[in-house]
Chains A and B, each alone.
Chain A
Amino acid sequence: MTVRVLVAKVGLDGHDRGIKVVARILRDAGMEVVYTGLFQTPESVAVAAIQEDVDVVGLSMLSGAHMTLAPLVVEALRQRDSSIPVVVGGIVPSNDVADLKAAGVAAVFGPGASDEEIVGAISSLVSPTE
């Protein structure tokens, strides 16, 4: 079964180089990728993820607002009774990783993460459905 991923930019951060490159890497790995564009809210991401029936949500965050916004995306999904895992990539200091995981983020990819690492982590988050 093809893995479906929603990649998203939440808040005001316009840096979209990384998200576009990662989207293509995931496609190259055979995944289906949905990108809803810039300036999304946690709610709009949750709604789109559920509507698009994706397996994983990937947030790209480079402005330093990850500690505020990433947990809100997790919360917005859980409030809608969705257990879709959320992963974060971008400029995240290693000190913040534990806090993000405690807030329900499934994986964090810092600067320099390799293609294999990202593809492998996302694949392993998706448990095969019957």
Chain B
Amino acid sequence: MESERAYDRWRRDYDAAKLRRPSFATMSGIEVDPVYGPPDGEFPGVYPYTRGIHASMYRTRLWTMRMFAGFGTAVDTNRRFREIIAAGGTGLSTAFDMPTLLGLDSDDPMSLGEVGRCGVAIDSIDDVRDLFRDIDLSAITTSMTINSPAAIMLALFVAQAEETGVARARLGGTLQNDILKEYQAQKEFVFPPRQSMRLVRDTIAFTAAEMPKWNSVSVSGYHIREAGSTAAEELAFTLANGFAYLELAREAGLSVDEVAPRLSFFFNAHIDFFEEIAKYRAARRIWATWLRNHYGATDERSWQLRFHTQTAGVSLTAQQPENNLARTAIEALAGVLGGTQSLHTNSMDEALALPSEKAARLALRTQQIIAHETNVANVADPLGGSWYVEALTDEMERQAESLFSELMDMGDGSMLEGCIRGIEQNWFQRHIAESAYQLERAFNRGERIIVGVNDFLDGNEAEDLELLRITNEDERKQIARLATVRQRRDDDAVRRARERLANEAADPEVNLMPALIDAARAEVTVGEMMATMAGVFGRYVEVPVL
């Protein structure tokens, strides 16, 4: 391996790769190479993967245009899913509403006003049946953006798929399941960190043993950045969390090579174009180096950092919302030039509401223009070798390494401990809040211009976008659906399933997935499963720092 030159390895893999087209040329007919650079330099598809994880990159397959959807009841979202599949989509990405994300039933008093608003409401297996009705779960992949109740959602999904005759081993998809960033940034936590990590461990072990096509954790920097971090903090905290999950799995007896290939990443694409590209390049290089040298991974797939990108919600403005189309296009281009595996583009109206159908279509069209009109996908890592981008890549890596050292010190040599203590001591939260504050100061002093907000204000009066309005009608419908389930189910089976769950939760050695799947089949609700576990695990109360 070491003896083979990067170029030779790349050439061998590139020549063996299937390509989308026989040749790639510019608009004016100039034939272009798959990648440019000196023969003794780095190449895509070769360790340390700074230039991309595949030798042929987008010449073989474009990135997946994975658009996130979910609203109202399961029936509403099922209709949107089937439209996506009919339009040729092969991947679904489920957005859940806030009560579901926090493990509350729709009839919980705390859920008032939130049911079906930011995503689909899921209370029990009955809703999952409707969510995936007439969808062949063995033929598509499903991404589920959920964290605190991630193990429950996986259990509901497995139970429902098996009801329709699809074995769990045939299910492909991704569970976000990244609880660390919830405490650090997104704040949809329920249990204390260590108890939550036990559930993550259980899902990693369960999917490693029984669901070979499943990605157990999507380690997410997106929310860290949205909460206000710098690019380097997003990079460092996300990779540190990834290392923490590897160490967690190792404690459960799994090898790094069993787990690492099933972790994927999720990064933000913010508006500082070159800095973002440098961030993605640095992310791949750091992951590869750490996995190989620090964690001793020997499988190349363990070294390869795969990531999804979403354009920055926080960069969108409510003023002159059409300007957001331009912002999103620039951000999406950074994701593509940075070598992303999949991409979600935000809609121009999202500083105001959930996207309208028209705005969501324009967002997808933005990706299609980049993919099919600009020719940027013809050459791998086209900015590699730029003195500026290479210097920024090195600087990203340097800043990340310095934050890793602090975390390692906090954890006495363990990244897992460092991340948990960093949360408990508000280290992450303080970093993020401070960076957010500094950005706001720069904006308020006029050092940072946001078009339409603190400069170039002409045109701010007109606001004639058609916005998606979500009424309280969905909330009433969903509560009625849940009442029907509560009425018709077998109360004894519910009680037995909850008792088993409580008993097994009390024994940290037991994997909770079988008990959760049992509970899902007995139509125990998400809120009931969470409450049962909270009875054992306790609930986390954040002491906020300002």
Interface residues of A (CB under 8 A from B): 11-17, 20-21, 23-25, 27, 33, 35, 37-39, 41, 63-65, 67-69, 91, 93-94, 110-112, 114-115
Say whether B453 contacts A93, CB under 8 Å.
no
Contacts of A16 in B (CB 8 A): 187, 227, 544
Mask, B49-75, CB within 8 Å of A = 1, is: 000000000000000000000000000
Q: Is the CB of B444 within 8 A of A114?
A: yes
Decide: B453 and A14 in contact? CB cutoff 8 A. Answer: no
Give Cα A41 to B109, complex, Å.
Answer: 10
A112 touches B467 (CB 8 A): no
Cβ A64 vs Cβ B544 within 8 A: no
Main secondary structure of the interface of B (DSSP, over half): loop
Q: How far is the CA of A11 from the CA of B309 in the complex (A)?
A: 29
- The proximity string for B residues 129-155 relative to A, scoring 1 for CB distances below 8 Å and 0 otherwise, is 000000000000000000000000000
The answer for the CA separation of A115 and B351 in the assembled complex, in Å, is 19
The residues of A that contact B221 with a CB separation of less than 8 Å are none
- The answer to whether B436 has its CB under 8 Å from any CB of chain A is yes
B-side residues, CB < 8 A to A, are: 98-99, 101-102, 104, 110-114, 117-118, 186-188, 226-228, 314, 317-319, 351-354, 432-433, 436-437, 440, 444, 450, 453-454, 463, 467, 470, 472, 541-544, 546
**Least Cβ–Cβ distance between B182 and chain A, in angstroms:** 8
CB distance from A90 to the nearest CB of B (A): 11
From A21, A68, A91, A114, give the contact of B352 (CB < 8 A).
Answer: A91
Task: Tell me whether A14 and B318 are in contact in the complex, defined as CB-CB below 8 angstroms, given that A37-B542, A64-B117 are known contacts.
Answer: no
Main secondary structure of the interface of A (DSSP, over half): loop
- Our pick among B102, B433, B467 for the contact of A12 (Cβ within 8 Å) is B102
* B546 lies within 8 A of A12 (CB): no
Q: Are B541 and A65 in contact (CB under 8 A)?
A: no
On whether the beta carbons of A38 and B542 are closer than 8 Å, the reply is yes
CB pair A17 B318 closer than 8 Å = no
Alpha-carbon distance between A24 and B436 when the two chains are bound, in angstroms = 11
Q: Tell me how far the C-beta of A67 lies from the nearest C-beta in chain B, rounded to whole angstroms.
A: 8
Q: What is the CB-to-nearest-CB distance from A15 to chain B, in angstroms, rounded to a whole number?
A: 8
Among B318, B454, B470, B546, max chain A CB count under 10 A is at: B546
What are the residues of chain A within 8 A of B437 when measuring CB–CB? 20-21, 24
Complex Cα gap A115–B112 (Å): 31
The interface residues of chain B lying within 8 Å CB-to-CB of A112 are 317-319, 450, 453-454
Q: Are A23 and B546 in contact (CB under 8 A)?
A: yes
Can you list 15 residue pairs at the A/B interface with Cβ under 8 Å? A11-B114, A12-B98, A12-B101, A16-B187, A17-B228, A21-B228, A21-B436, A23-B546, A24-B437, A63-B114, A64-B353, A91-B352, A93-B352, A111-B319, A115-B444
Q: How far in angstroms is the closest Cβ of chain B from A116? A: 8
Q: A20-B546, A24-B546 are in contact. Are A14 and B114 (CB under 8 A)?
A: no
**Cα separation A114 to B542 with both chains bound (whole Å):** 29
* Chain A residues, CB < 8 A from B111: 12
A64-B546 contact in complex given A14-B187, A17-B436, A110-B318, C-beta closer than 8 Å? no
Known contacts A16-B544, A114-B454; is-contact A38 B187 (Cβ 8 Å): yes
Tell me the bound Cα distance from A25 to B444 in angstroms. Answer: 10
Given contacts A21-B436, A112-B317, A112-B319, contact A63 B118 (CB under 8 A): yes
Complex Cα gap A23–B546 (Å): 7
- 7 new A-B contacts, CB < 8 A, other than A64-B354, A91-B318, A114-B454, are A11-B112, A12-B110, A17-B314, A21-B436, A21-B437, A37-B543, A37-B544
Least distance between B104 CB and chain A CB atoms (Å): 7
Nearest A residue to B349, CB-CB: A93
Judge whether A35 and B98 touch: CB under 8 Å.
Answer: no
On chain B, the residues within 8 Å of A15 by CB distance are 187
